């Protein structure tokens, strides 16, 4: 038995249905079951027969006439020897002939079927069929569907299932197409009709999204109001070419002294944050967002498969520090389907790209890409793709490289905007040599490695300076910080090696003791509480005291108090120099002299107070 779905612009009467069914049974000469749907097709009807769609709608006829009109006009204008009135008359005549040539040869008797349907029905029964390819769902499992009949479908194309469900084509096989559903997963069933669109998924972009929380489809989920923006961008776009990029030489301050001094991040860089669970990876990302307040940097935070409670805490923390006004959150929770979790970082990147190509600086956080890889592995296994190392598909490297390569600093000719990416990867038992961590490390421009042992020792941020690196280096630092921190990283790494070695030695020489003492004071000075990023002035003053060994006489538990009070003393007693240092970030002779005087005056007072 043949199953046909009949679409019309109005509800057909019983008489009309009887006439239509009789004509179709006579044409196909077999048993047919009919289903009727009212749709916005202006007029006429559309008949869906399994994998084929017979389109005899008024909207399609109008498109054909519009196309023919354009062809006739181009042909007549190319002659160039007709006057305006003659051209208009000739076009009308040619178009009239075209419409007459397209008129049905054998219309049914007048009155049997309304005028809007009569001509199209005669087309179906008596003329060659106008067939467009469509498909049918043959299997469905966990948001992944297999479709038969989409012979013209392209990879990554947006598909429509039953007019209200969207899917993305992921597998193109000989006899079927594999696709992942994006919404209304429970509404899709075996036998549902699938249409191709010839488009890639688009999401809304623009300043309307600032301060909003959206899902991976760009739909607001914060319950405030609907989005009113006409701007949309495709979630897949090529990365900027080399010729369109500029050198990464402008610092993007995280407000975290240990990072800004030893592992600097520049605008347009891709710096990985990697570490075990509960080592402070998200805290570093949020500190960086909070530190961008008043600096003209727009932030996009992408939560991938996070628990709803964790996301709520992040939103509250950003609101608490007035950071939501320049931040957009793209959220996929742990309860969302794997396709939505897979789509989230691409949506966030698209939103950030709109600002970058508008000449603005953007910071985007991907929290985290290890869960994104797991979602993609789930999709690939359901699509029956061959599994590789750790059951991941062979193109798992490509999905992250094509995402992170879109982060760049553009040249002045392209607007001078930038997108700085801070992807996060979660390791298991500190193993950074597993598949996904090594993949992302090879893509990014450096990594900030957070160590579980340092967290247990009470050191936060728990940055392992030996395994952390920034491939941009000092070119993305303020001159004063670059000058002061040139040896800090090596000295701290040396101290940690000696600290391990000294546990097995009974007596140490004076030089080793001094290195250990200086390392202990430096480690204490670099400690920083969560959600309290430092200003550039504070960072420079702290570094000056650390590097020039002014903390050796201060008791280790009092170092935090000493640094904080010294900062306040310098800012109030040497206000002009403090303002200049904060604005330019350079250690001039006058500023060095003022810092030296401040140390002498405040040091004596502090030592007396804490005698």
Q: Which long-range contacts (CB under 8 A, 24 or more apart) does 71-79 make?
A: 72/98
Q: Dump strand ranges (E) for 215-342.
A: 232-234, 272-275, 297-306, 327-333
For residues 308 and 444, what is the distance between their CA atoms, to the nearest angstrom? 29
Q: Residue 475's pLDDT is what?
A: 86
List C-alpha distances in Å: 368 to 291, 316, 341. Answer: 21, 20, 10
The label of the residue with tokens 């998924």 reads: 201
Q: What does the pLDDT average to over 500-511?
A: 83
For residues 322 and 600, what is the distance between their CA atoms, to the nearest angstrom? 38
Q: How many beta carbons lie within 10 A of that of residue 390, not counting itself?
A: 11
Convert 52-106 into a string of H (helix), E (strand) and C (coil): EEEEEEHHHHHHHHHHHHHHHHHHHHHHCCCCHHHHHHHHHHHHHHHHHHHCCCC
pLDDT per residue as tens digits for the range 224-242 = 888 888 899 999 999 999 9
For residues 185 and 141, what is the distance between their CA atoms, to the nearest angstrom? 10
DSSP 8-state secondary structure symbol assigned to residue 134: -
Average pLDDT of the chain, as a whole number: 86
DSSP assignment string, 446-510: EEEEE-HHHHHTT-SS-B-TTT-EESSGGGGS-HHHHHHTTTHHHHHHHHHHHHHHHTT-S---H
Assess whether pLDDT exceeds 70 at residue 89.
no
Residue that wins the pLDDT comparison between 68 and 180: 180
> Which one of 146-160, 163-177, 307-321 scores highest in mean pLDDT?
307-321
DSSP assignment string, 332-382: EETTS-HHHHHHHHHHHHHHHHHHHTTT-EEEEEEETHHHHHHHHHHHHHH
Domains of the chain by start residue, with CATH: 2-131 (no CATH), 134-202 (2.40.30.20), 243-477 (3.40.50.300), 488-609 (1.20.150.20)
Q: Residue 101's pLDDT is what?
A: 54
pLDDT per residue as tens digits for the range 266-279 = 999 999 999 999 99
3-state SS assignment for residue 194: strand
Percent of the chain with pLDDT over 70: 86
Q: What does the pLDDT average to over 533-549?
A: 95
3-state SS assignment for residue 521: helix
Please tell me the pTM assigned to this model: 0.79
Is residue 471 annotated as a catalytic residue, yes or no? yes
Residue that wins the pLDDT comparison between 152 and 75: 152
For residues 532 and 265, what is the distance between their CA atoms, to the nearest angstrom? 18
Q: Residue 390's pLDDT is what?
A: 92
Q: Residue 78's pLDDT is what?
A: 67
How would residue 63 be classed by pLDDT, with cut points 50, 70 and 90? low
Q: Residue 386's pLDDT is what?
A: 92
Reference 523, options 475, 451, 597; nearest CA is: 451
Assess whether pLDDT exceeds 90 at residue 350.
yes
Q: Residue 226's pLDDT is what?
A: 84
Q: Residue 19's pLDDT is what?
A: 83
For residues 153 and 195, what is the distance between their CA atoms, to the nearest angstrom? 9
Q: Residue 120's pLDDT is what?
A: 41
Q: What does the pLDDT average to over 112-125?
A: 40
Q: Residue 114's pLDDT is what?
A: 42
Q: Residue 7's pLDDT is what?
A: 79
Q: Residue 82's pLDDT is what?
A: 53
Q: Residue 542's pLDDT is what?
A: 96
Q: Residue 111's pLDDT is what?
A: 39
Assess whether pLDDT exceeds 80 at residue 598.
yes
Q: How many beta carbons lie within 10 A of that of residue 593, not counting itself?
A: 12
Reference 450, options 311, 286, 278, 303; nearest CA is: 278
Helix and strand element counts for the chain (H, E):
19, 21
Assess whether pLDDT exceeds 80 at residue 68.
no
The label of the residue with tokens 């006579």 reads: 26
The label of the residue with tokens 């000056």 reads: 544
Phi-psi region of 67 (alpha: psi -120 to 50; beta: other; left: phi over 0): alpha
For residues 3 and 8, what is the distance between their CA atoms, to the nearest angstrom? 17
Strand pairing of 44-49 and 2-8?
Answer: antiparallel
Q: What does the pLDDT average to over 6-34?
A: 80
How would residue 84 be classed by pLDDT, with cut points 50, 70 and 90? low
Q: Is the dihedral of CA 24, 27, 33, 36 positive or negative?
A: negative
Structure tokens at 566: 């010294």
How would residue 104 be classed by pLDDT, with cut points 50, 70 and 90? very low
Assess whether pLDDT exceeds 80 at residue 95.
no
Q: Residue 593's pLDDT is what?
A: 95
DSSP 8-state secondary structure symbol assigned to residue 108: P
Reference 178, options 384, 449, 373; nearest CA is: 384
Q: Residue 14's pLDDT is what?
A: 84
Q: What does the pLDDT average to over 107-133?
A: 40
Q: Are 393 and 377 in contact (CB under 8 A)?
A: yes
Assess whether pLDDT exceeds 70 at residue 182.
yes
Question: Which region among 89-98, 130-139, 154-163, 545-554 has the lowest average model confidence (pLDDT)?
Answer: 89-98
Q: Residue 295's pLDDT is what?
A: 94
Rounded to whole angstroms, the maximal C-alpha distance in the chain is 113
How would residue 59 be classed by pLDDT, with cut points 50, 70 and 90? low
Of the candidates 127, 385, 471, 482, the residue annotated as catalytic is: 471
Q: What does the pLDDT average to over 374-392?
A: 93
For residues 409 and 405, what is the distance between their CA atoms, to the nearest angstrom? 11
Q: Dump strand ranges (E) for 80-176.
A: 131-133, 135-141, 144-148, 158-161, 165-172
Assess whether pLDDT exceeds 60 at residue 96.
no
Q: Residue 527's pLDDT is what?
A: 94
Question: Which region among 53-62, 161-170, 174-183, 589-598 has the lowest average model confidence (pLDDT)?
Answer: 53-62
Q: Residue 112's pLDDT is what?
A: 37
Assess whether pLDDT exceeds 60 at residue 215.
yes
Assess whether pLDDT exceeds 60 at residue 166.
yes
């Amino acid at each position: 038995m043949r199953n046909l779905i009949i679409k019309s612009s109005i509800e057909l009467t019983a008489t009309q249905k009887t006439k239509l069914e009789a004509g179709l049974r006579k044409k196909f000469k077999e048993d047919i079951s009919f289903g009727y749907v009212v749709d916005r097709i202006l007029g006429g009807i559309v008949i869906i027969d399994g994998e084929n769609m017979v389109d005899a709608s008024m909207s399609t006829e109008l498109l054909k006439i519009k196309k023919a009109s354009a062809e006739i006009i181009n042909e007549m204008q190319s002659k160039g020897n007709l006057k305006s009135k003659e051209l208009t008359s000739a076009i009308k005549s040619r178009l009239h002939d075209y419409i007459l040539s397209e008129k049905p040869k054998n219309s049914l008797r007048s009155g049997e079927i309304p005028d809007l349907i009569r001509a199209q029905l005669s087309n179906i029964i008596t003329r060659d069929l106008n067939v467009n390819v469509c498909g049918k769902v043959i299997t469905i499992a966990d948001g992944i569907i297999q479709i038969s009949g989409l012979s013209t479908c392209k990879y990554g194309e947006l598909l429509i299932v039953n007019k209200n469900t969207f899917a993305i084509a992921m597998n193109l096989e000989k006899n079927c197409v594999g696709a992942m559903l994006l919404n209304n997963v429970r509404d899709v069933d075996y036998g549902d009709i699938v249409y191709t669109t010839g488009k890639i998924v688009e999401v809304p972009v623009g300043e309307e999204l600032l301060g909003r929380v959206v899902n991976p489809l760009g739909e607001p989920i914060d319950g405030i109001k609907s989005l009113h923006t006409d701007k949309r961008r495709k979630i897949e776009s090529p990365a900027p070419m080399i010729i369109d990029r500029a050198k990464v030489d402008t610092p993007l301050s995280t407000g975290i002294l240990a990072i800004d001094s030893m592992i600097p991040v520049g605008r347009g860089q891709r710096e990985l944050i990697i570490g075990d669970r509960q080592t402070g990876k998200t805290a570093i990302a949020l500190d960086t967002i909070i530190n961008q307040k008043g600096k003209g940097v727009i932030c996009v935070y992408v939560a991938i498969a996070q628990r709803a409670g964790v996301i709520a805490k992040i939103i509250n923390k950003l609101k608490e520090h007035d950071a939501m006004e320049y931040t957009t959150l793209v959220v996929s929770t742990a309860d969302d389907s794997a396709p939505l979790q897979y789509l989230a970082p691409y949506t966030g990147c698209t939103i950030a790209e709109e600002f970058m190509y508008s000449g603005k600086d953007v910071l985007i956080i991907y929290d985290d890409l290890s869960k994104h890889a797991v979602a993609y592995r789930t999709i690939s296994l359901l699509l029956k793709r061959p599994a590789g190392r750790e059951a991941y598909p062979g193109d798992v490297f490509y999905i992250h490289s094509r995402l992170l390569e879109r982060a760049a600093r553009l040249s002045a000719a392209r607007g001078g905007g930038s997108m700085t990416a801070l992807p996060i990867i979660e390791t298991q038992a500190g193993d950074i040599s597993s598949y996904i961590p090594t993949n992302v490390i090879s893509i990014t421009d450096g990594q900030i490695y957070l160590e579980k042992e340092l967290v247990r020792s009470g050191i936060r941020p728990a940055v392992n300076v030996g395994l952390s690196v920034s491939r941009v280096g000092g070119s993305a630092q303020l001159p004063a910080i670059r000058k002061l921190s040139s040896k800090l990283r090596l000295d701290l790494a040396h101290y940690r090696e000696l600290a391990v070695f000294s546990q097995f030695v009974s007596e140490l020489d004076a030089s080793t003791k001094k290195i250990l003492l200086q390392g202990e004071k430096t480690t204490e000075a670099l400690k920083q509480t969560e959600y309290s990023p430092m200003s550039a002035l504070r960072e420079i003053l702290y570094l000056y005291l650390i590097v020039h060994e002014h903390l050796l006489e201060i008791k280790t538990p009092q170092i935090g108090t000493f640094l904080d009070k010294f900062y306040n003393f310098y800012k109030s007693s040497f206000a002009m120099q403090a303002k200049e240092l904060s604005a330019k970030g350079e250690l001039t002779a006058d500023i060095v002299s003022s810092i030296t005087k401040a140390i002498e005056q405040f040091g004596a007072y502090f030592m007396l107070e804490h005698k």
